[in-house]
Amino acid sequence: MSLNLNAWRPASRPSIRNRLALWYGGILGGVILFLGILLYLRLSQNAYSDFDLSLRLTADALARLSLKQSQSTEPLTADDFLQGTDDPEFFTNFFRFYTSSGELEIRSKNHPKRTVPLSAPSFENALHQKATFESFSYPGRDDIRVMTRPVVYQGKVLHVLQVGGSLKRVDEVLSRLRFILFLTLPTALVVALIGGWFIADQALRPVNAMAQIARQITAGDLSRRIPMHPGEDELARLAETFNTMLSQLEESIQRIRQFSADASHELRTPLTILKGEAELALSEDYSKDEYKEMIVSSLEEIDRISRIVEDLFLLSKADLEEARLEMGPVPLTPLLQETVSQMKRLAADKDLSLEFDSADDPLLYGDAYRLRELFSNLIENAIRYTGPAGQITLSVSQTEEQIVINISDNGIGISPGDLPKIFDRFYRAESARALHPKGSGLGLSICQWIVLSHRGEIDVKSQPGQGTTFTLRFPLLR
Ligand code: ADP
């Protein structure tokens, strides 16, 4: 059974584009719906209050006319009112006058045939000098709205006046508005959804392009980059970050490849020598001394292999931050003196002078074992890369804040082209290979790690053919 991880997808989750479109459409649709309902409510409220206002104005005018007419001795007729006004509301609204005991006095000629009651509460209200608005519904016909109010003279209710009108026009306007809203709202929603989808599609297009390129990038080919469009937007920044990440990844994969190639190359040389010596030993009979010589030579190669392996092991532990340091206060002068005296024999073998000059005796907070390894490596290099009768000097001094250690030689020096690379793993200058073929190119990488893990700095100055000075600086322990 095989498991295809690429085929796995979270169950039925809509794409970001669809989700954005839905959100956009949903929010816009919600806002439009809310505004539509608000508009409808507001307009219908306005339409009814306008209608009520027209009833009120008509009633007021009628009340004034009735008071004027009441001065005359003639009884009131509907025509009296129509002659007294040119207000168009008079012709659309109907009216009725009742006596204060509830008997109908006059009713306008345009009064509808339907029964429009004078309700008991509205009559009661009128007797108490209050106006009342009421609506009456008739199945299959338009509604009628009526205002009932008193006509008062000298504090006495002379008549109860009713003015009414059909709500047909108001209802028609409102139903037309409802129709328009019902038509436009879903259309607006559909347009919002399509618009949202289109905007999301446009916005996410570069992301899709990035995903496509990212899919084509494999560990085998990290050289591809996402095309950058001019601009400062989020996607341009994302593409830039992605490209930077790719460059770093490409660089570190390149370093790993180089490192493996260098490591196998460095190990192959002593192994080939070892194999050659073993084959030589087996090829014919040799004297005891000759065998001894072969074994000594083989042991040298085995030493070289184990040193490379140990150095590699230490560096990989350092990379993983697993290399432990036993930190404590270390008096530097005795440690340097001890190291120098151990290396004196090696220097003497090459007829070199090795001098140590200590102006101070500073305390360094560090790991004595690793510090000894650091100084031994640097002195050993100075011995290796200095010709006979050369001079090597070591000095230690302290400033207000720092401990400064110089290791100088007047050896072969390092060319400006090699100088920036000497701390790289396995890097060896050609001149150094010629002088000392058995180095590994790992010593300075280890020195650099030791210095950095003691919060120090390592610098090198060199003149080819004149010599080299390594300067180490560490913070002073107070
Ligand atoms: P190795 O000494 O095994 O080659 P290192 O990492 O210690 O490896 O040094 C790397 C390279 O730096 C050497 O191969 C050499 O080219 C250069 N180097 C280091 N120390 C000196 C020195 N004192 N004088 C000249 N070249 C040096």
385-402 pLDDT, tens digit per residue, is 999 889 999 999 999 889
> 179: phi > 0 → left, psi -120 to 50 → alpha, else beta; which?
alpha
Atom of ligand 1 nearest to the CA of 411: 24
What pLDDT is stored for residue 5 in this prediction?
A: 44
CA of 444 from ligand 1 middle (Å) equals 7
Among 6-10, 27-31, 213-217, which is the least confidently predicted range?
A: 6-10
Residue 14 DSSP code: P
Q: Is the pLDDT of residue 381 over 80?
A: yes
What pLDDT is stored for residue 87 in this prediction?
A: 60
Provide the residue type at 351 as one letter.
Answer: D
CA of 449 from ligand 1 middle (Å) equals 15
Distance between CA atoms of 407 and 390, rounded to whole angstroms? 13
pLDDT-derived band of residue 114, with 50, 70 and 90 as boundaries?
Answer: confident
Q: Where are the beta strands (DSSP E) in 359-434?
A: 363-366, 391-398, 402-409
CA of 353 from ligand 1 middle (Å) equals 19
Q: What is the pLDDT of residues 310-324, one digit of tens each?
A: 999 999 899 888 888
Q: Which residues line ligand 1 (CB under 6 A)?
A: 381-382, 385, 409, 411-414, 422, 427-429, 432, 439-444, 468
What pLDDT is stored for residue 91 in this prediction?
A: 62
Q: What is the pLDDT of residues 255-307, one digit of tens each?
A: 888 888 888 988 998 899 999 999 999 998 899 999 999 999 999 999 999 99
Q: Is the pLDDT of residue 478 over 80?
A: no
Provide the residue type at 266 as one letter.
Answer: E
CA of 323 from ligand 1 middle (Å) equals 23
- Residue 155, C-beta contacts closer than 8 angstroms, at least 6 positions apart: none
Q: Which residue has the higher pLDDT, 381 or 223?
A: 381
Q: Is the pLDDT of residue 365 over 50?
A: yes
Among 81-95, 169-183, 299-313, 442-456, which is the least confidently predicted range?
A: 81-95
Q: Is the pLDDT of residue 450 over 90?
A: yes
Residue 422, phi then psi, degrees to nearest 5: -65, -20
Percentage of the chain beyond pLDDT 90 is 55
What's this model's pTM, rounded to 2 decimal places?
Answer: 0.60
pLDDT-derived band of residue 90, with 50, 70 and 90 as boundaries?
Answer: low
- Which residue minimizes the CA distance to atom 14 of ligand 1? 428
What pLDDT is stored for residue 118 in this prediction?
A: 92
CA of 223 from ligand 1 middle (Å) equals 33
pLDDT-derived band of residue 204, with 50, 70 and 90 as boundaries?
Answer: confident
- Which residue minimizes the CA distance to atom 12 of ligand 1? 422
Atom of ligand 1 nearest to the CA of 427: 10
CA of 428 from ligand 1 middle (Å) equals 6
Atom of ligand 1 nearest to the CA of 442: 6
Q: Is the pLDDT of residue 199 over 90?
A: no
What pLDDT is stored for residue 322 in this prediction?
A: 87
Average pLDDT over residues 144-153: 94
CA of 467 from ligand 1 middle (Å) equals 12
What pLDDT is stored for residue 77 in this prediction?
A: 66
Percentage of the chain beyond pLDDT 70 is 92
CA of 427 from ligand 1 middle (Å) equals 8
Average pLDDT over residues 140-153: 93
What pLDDT is stored for residue 45 in this prediction?
A: 95
Residues in the chain: 478
Please identify which residue in the block is written with the tokens 């290796």: 384
Q: What is the pLDDT of residues 418-429, one digit of tens each?
A: 999 999 999 999
Average pLDDT over residues 324-341: 94
Among 15-19, 292-296, 343-347, which is the least confidently predicted range?
A: 15-19
Taking a C-beta distance cutoff of 8 angstroms, is the pair 471, 406 a contact? yes
410, 444, 469: residue to mutate for ligand 1 pocket, most atoms within 8 A of CB: 444
Average pLDDT over residues 448-462: 96
Average pLDDT over residues 193-219: 82
Q: What's the chain's average pLDDT? A: 88
Average pLDDT over residues 58-74: 79
Among 78-87, 107-116, 131-140, which is the least confidently predicted range?
A: 78-87
Structure tokens at 407: 């290791």
- Which residue minimizes the CA distance to atom 25 of ligand 1? 413
Average pLDDT over residues 15-34: 86
Contacts 24+ apart (CB under 8 A), 235-244: 235/206, 235/207, 235/210, 238/207, 238/210, 239/206, 239/210, 242/210, 242/214
Atom of ligand 1 nearest to the CA of 382: 23
CA of 345 from ligand 1 middle (Å) equals 20
What pLDDT is stored for residue 7 in this prediction?
A: 45
Query: How many other CB atoms are there within 10 angstroms of residue 367's CB atom?
Result: 20
Q: Is the pLDDT of residue 228 over 90?
A: no
CA of 381 from ligand 1 middle (Å) equals 6
- Which residue minimizes the CA distance to atom 7 of ligand 1? 443
> If we measure between CA atoms, which residue out of 162, 156, 167, 163 comes closest to residue 128?
156
Atom of ligand 1 nearest to the CA of 429: 16
pLDDT-derived band of residue 344, with 50, 70 and 90 as boundaries?
Answer: very high
414, 433, 438: residue to mutate for ligand 1 pocket, most atoms within 8 A of CB: 414
Atom of ligand 1 nearest to the CA of 440: 3
